[in-house]
Amino acid sequence: MEHHPPSLNNSFEHFVGFVETTTDALRLIMAARQGIIPRITRRLNDSERRSMIKSGSVFVFCVEESGIKRWTEGLSWSPSRIVGNFLVYREVTERSNIRGSDTALSTPGTSSFHVSSADTATMRPNGLIKKTITVKVEATDHHLVSYYKDEDVRQGLLQRPIARPDIMALSIPPEMVRATNFRHPPHVEVGPDGTAHM
């Protein structure tokens, strides 16, 4: 009897929104670690990619738990661009001369690019934007991959983590910021009770 992995479709609808800042990403990674939003624990299958890769989708995973060393979803992307602590890609028309279907995740402080000497693809009209970040938690790299459309952000259709009281109630350990070599470290204040605030 053929074994089918459990569907992720219903389990990952807990947070759909826009990851604007490093602090947003840290909060979502902490929420995933605490089980407030689900973590991705295996590769998405083809049907899950088709249904789940859309504007507002946010995925959090770590290599050790998921076995995912390179995140793929089958779309074609521009070379990565560094924006703050994130790598940002824009969806482009398909072409065969650039490996655009893979996301090269890098730790902050380094850069990872898909480079082509003959990159003639054009941006897909109203295409997706992919925004990624890697954060080290307890010596383990956690990856966040988010997708959105500019128009959805401009129209306010995608909520940020600040709209979720359960996520905002989480404290960010200061060592989570120190352990990752951010290009632009978020400002963290530690209160008298030892709780970190951003």
Tokens of 152: 């959805």
Q: What pLDDT does 121 receive?
A: 72
Q: What pLDDT does 198 receive?
A: 53
Using one digit for the tens of pLDDT, what is the confidence trace for 27-38? 999 999 999 999
Q: What pLDDT does 120 receive?
A: 58
Range of the domain at 90: 22-180
Q: What percent of the chain has pLDDT over 70?
A: 74
Using one digit for the tens of pLDDT, what is the confidence trace for 57-116? 999 999 889 999 899 999 999 999 999 999 999 999 975 554 444 555 544 443 333 434
Q: Is 9 inside any structural domain?
A: no
**CB neighbour list of residue 10: distance below 8 Å, 6 or more residues apart:** none
Q: Is 126 inside any structural domain?
A: yes
Above 90 in pLDDT, residue 195? no
Q: What pLDDT does 1 receive?
A: 43
Q: Is 113 inside any structural domain?
A: yes
Which residue is it, tokens 């992307």?
77
Contact 104, 114 (CB under 8 A): yes
**CB neighbour list of residue 58: distance below 8 Å, 6 or more residues apart:** 15, 16, 17, 19, 28, 37, 144, 145, 146, 147
Domain count, the chain: 1
Contact 184, 82 (CB under 8 A): no
Mean pLDDT value of segment 126-138: 94
Using one digit for the tens of pLDDT, what is the confidence trace for 169-183? 998 888 888 878 788
